[in-house]
Structure 1
């Protein structure tokens, strides 16, 4: 079998994955707070050497991008290296609804799910039958932790005499931070304070991160923080806008152009695979005839 079929097939698989990512972006073009994804790809050769040499010595290179690259291995291929999420700000769209809240800045709402704490940019909230402020999935939205809500751990210092005490944990009890609302008009300030009937009842928890790419998409516009030290300490700089929702940062025209290009590239790779298969088939038939 011609080794070129591996290159064509891997290219087709990579483009197929790119088409899936673009299609998902387009499907969520109207989803509040959605952030578009794009794939990064790597090319590989089993061995790379330079065409030029010094003193008769050919020097190894590390990348196909080198203009002097010459493949000497038996096959090359391309594969998906990772998925990059574009966290750029979406457009703020006025809704006039009191429980719609858009984030301007890099922050994320903190949400309590059955799988633990998750983060979201989607701020079209509602009040459930229990009076809790919830997301479109029905998960409770959390308030900022107060000192009284912080969980504590026992600390024992052995010595003479031994000392036992308590220290606050970094993560307070999430269940105690579920936002409960009653009857009456609601006002939400830029810093997240929720006022009902003129009284402050809670402050929305908006977290910012050192590195957004350490957030893993979990579906339904939720993210999981994968790095313990990723949370920023101190005051956040994000601003909240009541009566607005943040639109998706997907540009449908750009994504449609990318989709057409990726689809054509995929079809080209698959045509190349078919050509290699036809060549192999003819070669086998020729061998049989010669016998």
Structure 2
């Protein structure tokens, strides 16, 4: 009986964690370049049940498998493209890479990202091109991360009066520098930190590298545009409702077990 309580409790915990991912997706529906997380729910290791006949201890007939519950293992970002929105701001960039082919090594469609440098000097990646100029003229993200050029150095400009030429060439006052754009054929190695910023947590051999050094050079950067979030509000709200109902169903099972235990303890075997 207690096993059933643990199974129902695991279902409630899995539902609660999945709801956390869905709520985070909903709250970032208007964040440029945000990629929604998909909760991965998995079963605990299953037990194989076998029949034991009292007349013959050698009986080994298989009855079936029994799972002891489920858990939400992780949130996996969905890297489909968001809709393009025109802003007219010179410091807004949108990456367009829908024509990227399937990477033969990974069997997945790769993704391109803009490189930024965090406060701790580590390189991170983003699709959120909602940049601004800092007081000292550096092109930065909303978190203050500095956007990098092709030499992995921060891009510094004298003003917002600059032009983006070609795929990723920034021209200002006769000076040119390339925006660093990276490519990885294994998007699952990216961990979402928030506000459309990612860090690499996978195999270093598959980490984003300068897209110019790869054969997957089919991309453009549009100035004055932003890539919207890929969160579907209708689908997300529906999933939140279904997850709530799953939580309630497991809660009712738990209450039923609690009532059965209460009856067993207080009623069964009572001496009148």
TM-score (norm 1): 0.78
Q: Is the 8 A contact 1:193 1:200 kept in 2?
A: no
**3-state secondary structure, aligned to 1:216:** strand
Report deviation, 1:50. 8.1
**Deviations for 1:190-248, whole angstroms, at most 9, x for unmatched residues?**
42110113x23311111011200001122232111122111346143221011100000
Find 2:190's aligned residue among 215, 233, 240: 215
Residue in 2 that maps onto 1:162:
none
Alignment: residue pair count: 245
Residue in 1 that maps onto 2:56:
none
State the structure with more CA Rg.
1
Find 1:78's aligned residue among 70, 79, 86: 70
**3-state secondary structure, aligned to 1:256:** helix
* Greater CA drift, 213-222 or 97-106: 213-222
Report deviation, 1:45. 5.3
2: CA distance, partners of 1:128 / 1:287: 74
Report deviation, 1:185. 2.0
Residue in 2 that maps onto 1:112:
117
Q: Is the 8 A contact 1:39 1:80 kept in 2?
A: yes
Q: Is the 8 A contact 2:31 2:195 kept in 1?
A: no
Residue in 2 that maps onto 1:24:
24
**3-state secondary structure, aligned to 1:107:** strand
Q: 1:1-291, aligned counterparts within 5 Å?
A: 1-44=1-44, 46-49=46-49, 58=61, 69-71=64-66, 76-105=68-97, 106-115=111-120, 116-145=122-151, 174=152, 177-183=153-159, 185-197=161-173, 199-226=174-201, 227-230=203-206, 231-232=208-209, 234-235=213-214, 236-287=217-268, 289-290=270-271
1: CA distance, partners of 2:3 / 2:158: 69
1: CA distance, partners of 2:167 / 2:88: 19
**3-state secondary structure, aligned to 2:267:** helix
Report deviation, 1:79. 1.1
Residue in 2 that maps onto 1:160:
none
Alignment CA distance shift 1:265-1:5 (3 Å) = same
**Deviations for 1:46-65, whole angstroms, at most 9, x for unmatched residues?**
512589xxxx8646xxxxxx
Report deviation, 1:266. 0.7
Report deviation, 1:288. 7.2
Alignment CA distance shift 1:191-1:251 (3 Å) = same
**3-state secondary structure, aligned to 2:44:** strand
Q: Is the 8 A contact 2:91 2:160 kept in 1?
A: no
Alignment CA distance shift 1:50-1:31 (3 Å) = farther
**Deviations for 1:139-198, whole angstroms, at most 9, x for unmatched residues?**
1101011xxxxxxxxxxxxxxxxxxxxxxxxxxxx5xx111101362111242110113x
Q: Is the 8 A contact 1:189 1:241 kept in 2?
A: no
- What CA RMSD, in Å, does the superposition of the two structures yield over aligned residues? 2.2
